[in-house]
Amino acid sequence: MLNRKHQPSPTQRIGLFGGSFDPIHLGHLLVAQAAREELALTRLVFIPAAQSPFKPGSRTALPDERLRLLRLALAGHSWCEVDEQEIQRGGISYTIDTVRDYKARSDGAELFYLIGADHVPQLPGWRQADDLARLVQFVVIPRPGQADVPFTAPFRGRTLVGFPLGISSSQIRARVKVGLPIEHLVPACVAEAIHNNHLYL
């Protein structure tokens, strides 16, 4: 009979979901659910960026506001968590810094990084791309009606099957600005917080 003390523990499978989340919406939550199911994730971490390198001139809601909306949306989802490290670092948020941090403190875990399909062709230009390709598997979030975009070596990964939705944070911000409803695009608690705090006006 095997001694249970010497049995190796199952490898953790951690999903990393970076982005501005400005604001978080139902499309993000459905992506998280699909990733959890299709990748058999142990946990999934939402990592809001301080400043996206792909949107250098964009204005976002204040970090504290985006974090508060994230926590409202994820309340009760014990398999999800929010990591503030990119906001705490400040400046432009680079994926390689975050992935290295998780690799260093998640002993032997498999790391999966979620990205939009439009970012796949840009991966070779990401900071320290070769190291990034070695440390993490990429998981592509498809857009409805969009063809699969193949990875170029040395990048590896797969495409999610479940729940692609044509919702974007920019559309939600635009609707708020002109007074259109967003109740069926974001969780009700997020819509209420946006309204009560006069965000995106």
| pLDDT of 8 above 50 | no
Whether 41 is in a domain gets the answer yes
CA dihedral 100, 152, 21, 27 (to 10 degrees): -130
pLDDT of residue 144: 82
128: in domain? yes
Would 201 be classed as within a structural domain?
no
The Cα–Cα gap between 97 and 87 comes to 12
Instruction: For residue 177, tell me if it sits in a domain.
Output: no
Tell me the mean pLDDT in the region 61-77: 95
Q: Report the distance separating Cα 100 and Cα 72, nearest Å.
A: 28
Give domain status of residue 184, yes or no.
Answer: no
Distance of CA 157 to the CA centre of its chain: 15
pLDDT at 66: 96
The residue that leads in pLDDT, 11 or 47, is 47
The residue range of the domain holding 48 is 11-165
pLDDT at 58: 61
At 1, is the pLDDT very low, low, confident or very high (cuts 50, 70, 90)? Answer: very low
Mean pLDDT of the chain: 91
Query: Does residue 178 lie in a domain region?
Result: no
What's the rounded Cα separation, in Å, for the pair 81 and 70? 9
pLDDT at 59: 64
The string of pLDDT tens digits covering residues 128-180 is: 999 999 999 999 998 887 778 899 999 999 999 988 788 999 999 999 999 99
Q: What is the CATH number of the domain that holds 97?
A: 3.40.50.620
Q: What is the mean pLDDT of residues 94-122?
A: 94
Q: What share of the chain is helix, strand, coil (3-state, %, to 5)?
A: 40, 15, 45
Find residue 15's DSSP bridge partners. 44, 112
Report pTM: 0.91
Other CB atoms within 10 Å distance of the CB of residue 53 = 14
Strand partners, 158: 139
Tokens encoding 57? 């001139």
Structural domain includes residue 79: yes
Residue 140 lies in a domain: yes
Q: Output the pLDDT for position 31.
A: 95
**Is pLDDT above 70 for 2?**
no
Q: What's the total number of domains in the chain? A: 1
Average pLDDT over residues 72-95: 95
Q: How far apart are CA 201 and CA 199, in angstroms?
A: 6
